[in-house]
Structure 1
Amino acid sequence: MITIRSPTVGRVSEQTADGVRQRNLARILRLVHLEGPLSRAVLTETTGLNRSTIADLVSQLAQQGLVQEHAPDRSRRVGRPSPVVAVDPRVLTIAVNPEVDALTIAAVGLDRGIPIRERIDLDHLIGPEETAALVAERISAWRAAELADARIVAVALAVPGLVRAADGLVRNAPHLGWTDAPIRDLVAEATGLPTVVGNDASLGAIAEHLYGAARGIDNVVYLNGGASGIGGGLIVHGMPVAGAGGYAGEFGQNRPGIASDRDRRARDGALEDEVSRARLLAVVGRPSADEPTLAALLEATTLPDAIAELARQRGILATALANAVNVLNPSVVVLGGFLATIAERDLDGLTAAVGAHAMPASMEGLAIRVAVLAENRLLIGAAEAAFADLLADPGVLGAAAG
């Protein structure tokens, strides 16, 4: 009896095998990206794959320049030591955060290391074209020096505004003065690199969920306070919530409850008009400052006006957080940027104030925390977006990257 093998069946089997291998490569790369260096033994136990398969997959990832293997930990006294697998720190993305007072650009590694970070202070509102030109100029300079041996995967921008999820178009970044700005295409053309764009606060929420104050928490409300105002991000059942167009989380545009007119500074103002970084800078007598400098100034101040302004803003912020708690019932609320500075001044007092406005049942087990990743949270979130394609399919990083 002669058995005839169908060419079509053979191709399907090969494609299925290739798909399984691609998923396993992605699984290994994502594990060491999220968790840090892991031994082959831990990878074997975590994935359920056998040791020879793990060795083969790690070898391929190493050949692609995505991971490195290190000598095993000799302190182990039981069994044969297992080599340690780590992502190659030379695989980088360029993360960018345009703001009203500065453009921050950094190289962020697949290991979350930040080998270089630069804040370019501005005395004018930066436009999309200038942003693209500055990003391209810095990448070119870094490639000739600090990043000479790096493999740059992509560029990612964390923009304080409404970013359309479908194509990265910035529909409106009011404080920057951007309307329907094709920043993704402008940066991609200027740099020759794949480019992604996201809302800054949404990216910050992802970063804090994966690596920071909300790590391992499935239901999270994140509020980010920056020079452009207040934005937010949501994690529900462990997944980021973007909304139909990608515009979810704009807490800064809500109208807060203000009990006394004496505490109101902007007639019919939104939350970000009342709880404001610019107002905090004004009471410490500074026209501008980066996050650590402003935090240090507010921590050290004994000026009555500054102390009163912090208290005023904290009270108004509490009403906004209570609304979020009542609607979304999160396990954790994370505050970043100048909102973290406000909270840290009296975190217990802020929590009590939120509880005074929120439903008691919704406050049960709730924790209010400050962002652990501090001033790097938006950059790390942007990098995560830029690495998404690579983590889904390690084969996408070809010889063109660099």
Structure 2
Amino acid sequence: MPSQSSPALGTRPHNLSLILRLVHENGAQSRAALTEQTGLNRSTIADLVAELVRRGLVDERVPDVAGRVGRPSPVVTASARVVAIAVNPEVDAIEIAAVGLDRSILVRERLPNDTVPTPAVVVATIAERIAAWRAGPLADVRIAAVGIAVPGLVRTSDGVVRNAPHLGWTDVPLAGLVGTATSSAAFVDNDATLGAIAEHRYGAGRGIDDIVYLNGGASGIGGGLIIHGRAVAGAGGYAGEFGQNRPRISADGDRRTGDGVLEAEVSRRLLLDSVGLEGADDETLEAALASSESPAVADEITRQAHVLASALANAVNVLNPTLVVLGGFLATIADLRSEQIAADVDALAMSESVEGLEIRPAALGADRLLIGAAELAFAGLLADPGERA
């Protein structure tokens, strides 16, 4: 995610940003709680909240507390009437949602693809759905920006998709194309990077500052890194491509390709084939795998879990995280073979590196990439609400 410049500490714009971010990330807060968390006095908090209300970014109400003596502290919530359009284009479907500043999902659609979508198809789809929603569920809301989570290498400074191999995209100026088509600001980043940010802020990694996140989708496996509480993307913004690494596979029976990368050996397509599905969302695939009584299905899950664990052990040795989070179909493998994966990682990684390590499935489930894309879209507004509201 590209960094956003923030106002100077202690200034009014900085304090507006601080209040808005607190209610966006932590949910409804009383004025008293905001006073305690920020160290600002009550009159300053009241003035800042009033400005955010005027700008339509927060709502304020007095709670109805039965039997309470005295006037309770007003409660401040981020507005659901300011939204980000969150998009995740994949080879099998385009997912698009409107996510409120309060993190509610106002509307969401999964649009299956007949063929791998071109950039033009994705841009047209985004524009069409926004236009349709503006005449319906989004008639009374303000769109802050469009955030797009792409399964590929993204130059975040200008929103150019450098290489999305499974989509067949190279050097696509996606942010510019979507911005022109929708008349809204548009931002693009790697899907796994945004999934890592979402899980760190709101999901399995909340409160943990050193995380390796792996995302398994129709396009393969990508990764995101949180180090000392910050997303790390590398010199060019392309860090975390775990799917292109070659895992250690000691048993010939566990190998499906001669010199395969991780995403060829641990594959959503192979899991779908094992249960006889041409296509399915993650929930349908998980249900089919969990309910299957076929030994061949069980063997394929076990095989992929072994290979996945070898890749995780390498990541743990290199990065020494506190937590590994697995999203998409990798979360399904983790749910079905949690003890096996933990034992394999423990056996393959350096003993010191696995001390205190946890491996968890993504807590946000199917929402993780859309929430991450919304965070990308909201970043500028949160950094300086006085300038961008």
Same-fold call, TM cutoff 0.5: yes
The answer on 1:55 being equivalent to 2:46 is yes
The 5 Å alignment of 1:338-349 reads 338-349=329-340
Which residue of structure 2 aligns with residue 154 of structure 1? 145
- Whole-Å Cα distance in 2 between the matches of residues 298 and 340 of structure 1? 12
Q: Give the superposition deviation at 1:18.
A: 11
Structure 1 residue corresponding to 2:273, chosen from 238, 258, 282: 282
2:153·2:190 contact (CA, 8 Å) conserved in 1?
yes
Q: 1:79 to 1:305 in 2, by over 3 A?
A: same
Aligned to 1:190, the other structure's residue is in SS state helix
Deviations 1:337-396 (A, max 9, x none): 000000100212211111010011111110000000000100000100110100011123
Look up the match of 1:117: 108
Match of 2:255 in 1: 264
Q: Counterpart of 2:381?
A: 390
CA distance in 2, matches of 1:243, 1:193: 28
1:163 Cα deviation after fit: 0.3
In structure 1, distance between residues paired with 2:59 and 2:238: 39
Could you state the TM-score of these two structures normalised by the residue count of structure 1?
0.93
- DSSP-derived class of the 1:124 partner: coil
> 2:307, 2:9 → 1: CA distance?
55
Distance 2:75 2:215 in 1: 36
Aligned partner of 2:122: which letter?
T
2:3 matched to which residue of 1? none
Secondary structure at the residue paired with 1:85?
Answer: strand
Match status 1:366 vs 2:357: yes
Question: 2:264 maps to what in 1?
Answer: 273
CA distance in 2, matches of 1:242, 1:75: 50
Secondary structure of the corresponding residue to residue 105 of structure 2:
coil
- Matching of residue 306 in structure 1 with residue 290 in structure 2: no
Which residue in the other structure is 2:156 paired with?
165
| Match 2:28 to one of 4, 19, 37 | 37
Give the deviation of 1:132 after TM superposition: 0.5
1:248 aligns with 2:235: no
Q: What's the counterpart of residue 120 of structure 2?
A: 129
Paired with 1:95 and 1:125, the residues of 2 have a C-alpha distance of 19
Establish whether residue 376 from structure 1 lines up as the match of residue 332 from structure 2. Answer: no
Q: What aligned pairs does 1:166-205 form with structure 2 within 5 A after superposition? A: 166-205=157-196
Q: 1:186 to 1:304 in 2, by over 3 A?
A: same
Separation in structure 1 between the aligned mates of residue 13 and residue 67 of structure 2, nearest angstrom: 32
Local SS of the residue matching 1:55: helix
Determine what percentage of the aligned residue pairs are the same residue: 64
Aligned to 2:18: 27
1:233 matched to 2:224: yes
Query: How far did residue 71 of structure 1 move?
Result: 1.6
Pick aligned residue for 2:63 from 48, 61, 72: 72
Show CA shifts across 1:110-162 (max 9, x none): 11111111011011010111111110000000000011011110001000000
Deviations 1:302-352 (A, max 9, x none): 111111100000000000000000110000000000000001002122111
Residue 103 of structure 1 corresponds to which residue in structure 2? 94
Q: Shift of the alpha carbon at 1:73?
A: 5.0
**Cα deviation 1:155-179 (Å, max 9, x = unaligned):** 0100000001221111100000001
Report the number of matched residues: 383
Q: In structure 2, how many angstroms separate the alpha carbons of the residues matched to 1:392 and 1:201?
A: 22
Contact 1:223–1:230, Cα closer than 8 Å, also in 2: yes
Distance 1:84 1:76, change over 3 A: farther
1:8 aligned partner: none
Closer, same or farther: CA 150–269 of 1 in aligned 2, 3 Å: same
2:19 aligns to what SS in structure 1? Answer: helix
Equivalent position amino acid for 2:332 in 1: T
Aligned AA (1:191): T
Mapped contact 2:210–2:229 kept (Cα < 8 A):
yes
TM-score, normalization by structure 2: 0.96
CA distance in 2, matches of 1:166, 1:40: 37
**Does structure 1 conserve the Cα–Cα contact (< 8 Å) formed by 2:214 and 2:326?**
yes
Note the alpha carbon deviations across 1:181-239, whole angstroms, 9 max, x for none: 11111100100000000000000000000000000101000000000000000000001
Distance 2:266 2:41 in 1: 55
Q: Is the 8 A contact 1:166 1:245 kept in 2?
A: no
Match of residue 206, structure 1, among 177, 197, 207: 197
Kindly tell me: are residues 18 and 246 of structure 1, through their superposed partners in 2, closer, same or farther at Cα, counting changes over 3 Å?
Answer: closer
Q: Is the radius of gyration larger for structure 1 or structure 2? A: 1
- Structure 1 residue runs without a partner (length 5+): 1-15
> Matched residue of 2:138: which SS?
coil
Shift of 1:80: 4.1
CA contact (8 A) 1:165 1:245 kept: no
Distance in 2 between the 1:191 and 1:295 partners? 35
Q: Measure, in 2, the Cα distance between the counterparts of 1:18 and 1:219.
A: 26
> Residues 345 and 192 from structure 1, CA distance in 2 versus in 1: closer, same or farther, beyond 3 angstroms?
same
Paired amino acid for 1:98: P
CA contact (8 A) 2:302 2:337 kept: no
Q: Cα RMSD over matched residues?
A: 1.4
